[in-house]
């Protein structure tokens, strides 16, 4: 199977599985990603950060406590220790034994299967080479046209653009004003702007679409919201329940 590069996706109402299908399975695990594919997500969103020994791993929180039961920051923990932890039991005993994935494992799984939005958590890595290493892993798996790289930390995005002129970038926005995130998106030649859903207002979509930027909203877990935001011009939705508008009832 060949995946359609993002830039050629004509479809609107893109459903992006948030941390996989994190409403159904423990976030950012293989179980969650498989569930998202089963529920026909168009794309999967996942979070990555660096371990103490500079491996990119797939996990949301900076601390391992909530999802792996050990109160220790990922950035001071070596991969070998992280790999011993159970990343599934916190969600349900059914998922005990799920492991934290490395980025390599994730890319090998996703290749030729599903497009990805890789969100980079944390500070700009101090170690020179961490961002080029990330880009090299994506490129080695021929997924450069099948990923969007995003971050709330725009310094990280600038670093990515510095090392790669064309890889799709999504600007993650929290409270920043419109003029600021739009300027950043244009400077970075971004593909998309990822907004909290409450920031989506009438009239906003044309101001963003005029610049050929897509609008993705987080986190949308009800079918009626998808309908309403879609009418306002949103192009895609991060959802813990991918498949929501395909064959599920509103929840
Ligand atoms: O990328 C959208 C969303 O995932 C951002 O927030 O905290 O879920 O990573 P968070
Ligand atoms: Mg995220």
Give 244's pLDDT tier (boundaries 50, 70, 90): confident
For ligand 1, atom 2, which residue shows the shortest CA distance? 218
Ligand 1: centre distance to CA 238 (Å): 8
pLDDT at residue 131 above 90? yes
SS3 130: helix
Q: Please, where are the H alpha helices in 112-153? A: 130-140
Tens digit of each residue's pLDDT (9 = 90 or more) over 39-67 = 999 999 999 999 999 999 999 999 999 99
Q: Which of 135, 121, 170 is nearest to 19 (CA)?
A: 121
Residue 172: CB partners within 8 Å, gap ≥ 6?
119, 150, 151, 152, 194
Burial class, 133, CB count within 10 angstroms (exposed 0-12 / middle 13-18 / buried 19+): middle
pLDDT digits (tens, 9 = 90+) for 61-112: 999 999 999 999 999 999 999 999 999 999 999 999 999 999 999 999 999 9
Taken as a whole, the chain contains a residue count of: 251
User: Tell me, what's the pLDDT at 100?
Assistant: 98
* Chain-centre distance for alpha carbon 103: 13
Model pTM score: 0.95
Mean residue pLDDT of the chain comes to 94
- Ligand 1, atom 6: closest residue by C-alpha: 218
Q: Closest ligand 1 atom to the C-alpha of 117?
A: 1
Q: Which residues surround ligand 2, an ion (CB under 5 A)?
A: 47, 119
| Alpha-helical regions (H) of 39-177 | 65-68, 79-82, 103-110, 130-140, 154-163
With the most atoms of ligand 1 within 8 angstroms of its CB, the residue from 149, 218, 221 to mutate is 218
**Lookup: tokens for 119:** 């969100």
Q: How far apart are CA 131 and CA 47, in angstroms?
A: 15
Biggest distance spanned by C-alpha atoms of the chain? 50
For ligand 1, what atom is nearest to the CA of residue 238?
Answer: 2
- Token pair belonging to 65: 């406590």
């Amino acid at each position: 199977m060949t995946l359609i590069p993002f830039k050629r996706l004509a479809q609107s109402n893109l459903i992006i599985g948030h941390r996989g299908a994190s409403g159904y399975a423990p976030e950012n695990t293989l179980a969650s990603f498989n569930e998202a594919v089963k529920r026909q997500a168009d794309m999967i969103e996942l979070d990555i950060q660096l371990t103490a020994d500079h491996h990119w791993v797939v996990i949301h929180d900076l601390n391992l406590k909530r999802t792996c039961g050990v109160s220790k920051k990922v950035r001071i923990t070596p991969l070998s220790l992280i790999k011993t932890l159970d990343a599934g039991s916190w969600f349900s005993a059914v998922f005990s034994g799920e492991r934290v994935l490395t980025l390599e494992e994730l890319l090998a799984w996703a290749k030729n299967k599903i497009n990805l939005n890789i969100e980079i958590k944390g500070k700009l890595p101090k170690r020179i080479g961490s961002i080029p290493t990330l880009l090299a892993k994506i490129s080695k798996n021929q997924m450069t046209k099948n990923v969007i790289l995003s971050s709330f930390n725009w310094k990280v995005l600038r670093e990515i653009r510095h090392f790669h002129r064309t890889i799709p970038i999504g600007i993650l926005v929290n409270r920043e004003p419109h003029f600021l995130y739009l300027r950043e998106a244009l400077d970075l030649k971004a593909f998309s702007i990822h907004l909290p859903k409450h920031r989506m207002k009438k009239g906003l979509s044309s101001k963003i679409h005029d610049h050929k930027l897509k609008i993705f909203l987080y986190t949308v877990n009800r079918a009626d919201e998808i309908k309403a935001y879609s009418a306002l011009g949103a192009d895609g939705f991060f959802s813990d329940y991918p498949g929501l508008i395909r064959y599920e009832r509103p929840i």
